[in-house]
Amino acid sequence: MPRRLLMTGTPIQNNLSELWALMYFCMPSVFGTLDQFLSTFRDISDLTSVHDSPEVKERLQILRSVLAAFMLRRTKSKLMESGSLVLPPLTETTVLVPLVSLQKKVYMSILRKELPKLVALSSGTSNHQSLQNTVLQLRKACSHPYLFPGIEPEPYEEGEHLVQTSGKLLILDQLLRKLHHYGHRVLLFAQMTHTLDILQDFLELRKYSYERLDGSIRAEERFAAIRSFSNSSANTSLNFEADQNGAFVFMISTRAGGVGLNLVAADTDLARRHLPSSCLQQWRLQRPQISASSLSAIPLQQSGHTKDVPNGNEEL
């Protein structure tokens, strides 16, 4: 008898329609049409409903019972309890990076321009939503001033000015030099593709081999880059340069490839700012075979400036 099998880590990403699509693919005769499914569990899918009400709890329990008959959940905690999954401890080091002179000028010019909004926020006549664009501009200043038009010297010439105008690139330069010398393989995350452009110029300046993944990369190029990075070996012996036949750095846009990638060749993650926990969790799950001392995550964060807060927004 033919069977259908689905494997997913996110059966419900946004709404119940996605769950129905998965279950209908497996058992169309059981789950019926989308309208029937949503009408049955409408209260659960309605974000405005009171989820503590007895009716919603009852429907939620029914849905769980139905799914239990078709879904086998293999969570990380269960696998670790059974001993079939052994994860090395994750060493996370936050490096606080000061702004260089040009970054300070750009940063302060943004604050002066947005001073009325800041005053309105402090007086309670405005809210955090009005400062979203301001925070984005401040984050760009903390990353690299060349993200703003008109600041990079023209005509463009490759040189040390690219490194010297960003505190994060200065630290990144030191970290990569040491990691490359000892044969490590690096994942380098950034949220903005323009930041990846600058990082790409930097890697070419230092003659480091790299792969890149962002939203503009076609599927076949994406798979080729992943295979190239995963299959190539790196010399991990002390006092030897990394194997030049394989990419030393894999640059990734968090929006295009932050989760769900099997990059088992890497042992170090360098993030331009803190990664979502899901990125680090999936990365750890994909690296169960490496030694505990070689799994590291190093977010680079500007000291005394924009920083992460628990609700995911930025705080000045």
Per-residue pLDDT of 113-123, as tens digits, reads: 988 888 887 77
Residue 6 domain-assigned? Answer: no
Residue 109 domain-assigned? Answer: no
Residue 65 domain-assigned? Answer: yes
Residue 234 domain-assigned? Answer: yes
Residue 9 domain-assigned? Answer: no
- Label residue 267 exposed, middle or buried (CB < 10 Å: 0-12, 13-18, 19+): buried
Region of poorest pLDDT, from 155-159, 170-174, 225-229, 299-303: 299-303
Backbone angles phi, psi at 298, to 5 degrees: -130, 90
Count how many domains the chain has: 2
Residue 261 domain-assigned? Answer: yes
DSSP 206-248: TT--EEEE-TTS-HHHHHHHHHHHHHS----STT-PPPTTS-S
**Is the domain of 209 the same as that of 66?**
no
**What residue numbers bound the domain in which 66 lies?**
16-73
Q: Sign of dihedral through CA atoms 163, 308, 192, 262? A: positive
49-58, 92-101, 140-149, 184-193 — most confident range: 140-149
State the CATH number of the domain containing residue 310: 3.40.50.300
Residue 10 domain-assigned? Answer: no
> 165 Cβ partners below 8 Å, 6+ apart?
100, 102, 103, 144, 145, 146
**Is the domain of 182 the same as that of 310?**
yes
Cα–Cα distance list, 86 to 74, 83, 160, 259, 278 (Å): 14, 7, 44, 20, 18
**Is the domain of 179 the same as that of 35?**
no
> 291 Cβ partners below 8 Å, 6+ apart?
88
Residue 83 domain-assigned? Answer: no
**Is the domain of 166 the same as that of 310?**
yes
Task: Kindly report the pTM of this predicted structure.
Answer: 0.65
**Is the domain of 69 the same as that of 166?**
no
The partner residues of 315 in beta bridges, in order of sequence, read 307
**Is the domain of 172 the same as that of 305?**
yes
Per-residue pLDDT of 8-57, as tens digits, reads: 776 665 678 888 888 888 888 888 888 888 887 766 655 444 455 677 77
